Amino acid sequence: MIEFYLNQHKVSTAAPPGSALLDFIRREQGLTGAKLVCKEGECAACAVLVGALEEEGLQYRNMCSCIMPLANAHGRHIVTIEGLNREELTPVQQAMV
C-alpha cells in the first residue's frame, strides 16, 4: 500500500507502484492542473512539489510527476497546482489577470 499526502488529504492506494505519479493524480484523483506534455521530464508542465522530512525539517523540491514512480510518493507530501493558495490570488496571479 502506498500512502502519502496529496495537497491537504491523506491518500492510500494499491495502484501499481511503477505507474507515473502524474497518471494517478489526473486519473484517480481528478486533479488536472498538472499536464502531460513531453513524458520525459523536460517541459515541467507536470511539475509538483514533493515534500520530505529531512534534518532541517520538511523540505520541498520541484519534481516532474510524469517520470516520478508512484512508489516514490510514499511517505511524502505532494502539492499540485490545485493545492496552492486557493483563498485568494497571489500578487503575481493578480498582475496576470
- Ranges of residues in the chain whose predicted pLDDT is under 70: 86, 90, 92-93, 96-97
Q: Among 58, 65, 69, which Cα is nearest to 82's?
A: 65
Give residue 94's pLDDT: 72
Strand order in the sheet with 9-13: 9-13, 2-6, 77-79, 47-54, 57-64
Q: So what CATH class is 2-96? A: alpha beta
The pLDDT assigned to 92 comes to 65
Q: CA 84, 66, 51, 71 torsion: positive or negative?
A: positive
Residues 6-24 pLDDT 10s: 999 999 999 999 999 999 9
Q: Where are the domains of the chain?
A: 2-96
User: Distance of CA 32 to CAs 52, 84, 93, Å?
Assistant: 23, 14, 19
